[in-house]
Amino acid sequence: MPDIIAITAATIKDENNEVAQTLLEQGYLLAIHRALTPPSRDEQRVLLGEAVAVLAGSEPFTREVLQNAPALKVISRNGIGFDAIDLDAATDLGIVVTYVPDAMVDAVADMTLGLLLACARRITEYDRALKAGEWRRIMGADLANRTLGVVGTGRIGMAVARRARAFRLRLVGHDPYPNPLFTEELGGDYLPLEDLLEVSDYVSLHLPAMAETRRMFNASCLARMKPSAYLINCARGSLVDEPALVEALTTGKIAGAGLDVFADEPPTPGSAGETLMRLPNVVASPHVAAATPVTAARMGRAALANILGVLGGERPSHVANPQVFERGTR
């Protein structure tokens, strides 16, 4: 019987795409999650029951889920983040976890600047007012000669910084691993986080989700920001203490926020995330920063290459749990 490959990525819902067609042509059977919402635990159990690989979305892969997938050899994340995957469990079970770090850089950087501009120039407020029949000419904020704080200067943070230079924003950055190009190419200055928050008119987050960064942007951090400042997050919702952000936004401690990501997605009814979505000084989008046709195709090809590489006995370039090769793969 041919091997089965499961597909749960949100951008692939049927066989009418390049990734699925490639797998079918190579003789694999496909188990595709066709719903618009992420698979539930029970749906995962069915999809992964006999699968040798999964081209995965952002849904959680717990130890229990992985233990119920005895044939699974590789989880190929169709994106850059792998924080929802229990890497220890995957390593214990000999499952390789791969990710795609480069494909979405431009799209996410574009979205970051889009949210920043929408916040600064109050574009969504104008739009809502006009559609309600109101001709309200309210003042926006400038970008030129203001300061952008880039928290995390990896691939996406650097792409955002390069775009920001075109708007004549002054750049300051914070990163435990400074990128020399941030200073040498872009003229940015690295600062301690506390200092960055105090001088920035816009703060953009580009950190990975991990234990050290969970709720890193808490009430203390938000209190250091200017009352006129805006927080932009196209990275991970877990970076922000959402109740603290609600309080900061509703009491005027900061001016506004542009959010593409939330702690729970979609936010649960009555949660701080749901409140954030509805605040008038928040520009919100449903985790779609990478949702462009070009980016989706690029991510799919890269995630597919990771699957075929592992199944072919190769070691892909971007493995989240490299120790699995030392301890033994399935």
Q: Estimate the crossing angle of helix 105-120 against helix 293-311, to 10 degrees.
A: 150
Residues 158-176: b if buried by 16+ CB within 10 A, e if exposed: bbbbebbbebebbbbbbbe
| Contact of 310 with 288, CB cutoff 8 Å | no
Cα 19–chain centre separation: 22
b/e sequence 212-245, b meaning 16+ C-beta within 10 Å: ebeebbeeebbebbbeebbbbbbbbbbbbbbbbb
Residues 6+ apart with CB under 8 A from 285: 111, 115, 259, 260
Q: Which of 146, 155, 236, 298 is catalytic?
A: 236
Catalytic residue among 121, 214, 287, 301: 287
- How far apart are alpha carbons 325 and 330 in whole angstroms? 10
194 annotated active-site = no
What residue has token string 């940015």? 188
The active-site residue, picked from 265, 301, 318, 330, is: 265
Cis peptide preceding 266, ω within 30 of 0 = yes
Judge whether 212 counts as a catalytic residue.
no
Please give the Cα distance from 275 to 246 (Å, whole number).
7
Active site residue 265: yes
CA 160 to chain centre: 14
What strands lie across the sheet with 256-259, from one edge to the other? 189-190, 170-174, 147-151, 202-205, 230-233, 256-259, 282-284
Angle (deg, nearest 10), helices 18-25 and 293-311 = 30
- Catalytic site positions: 236, 265, 287
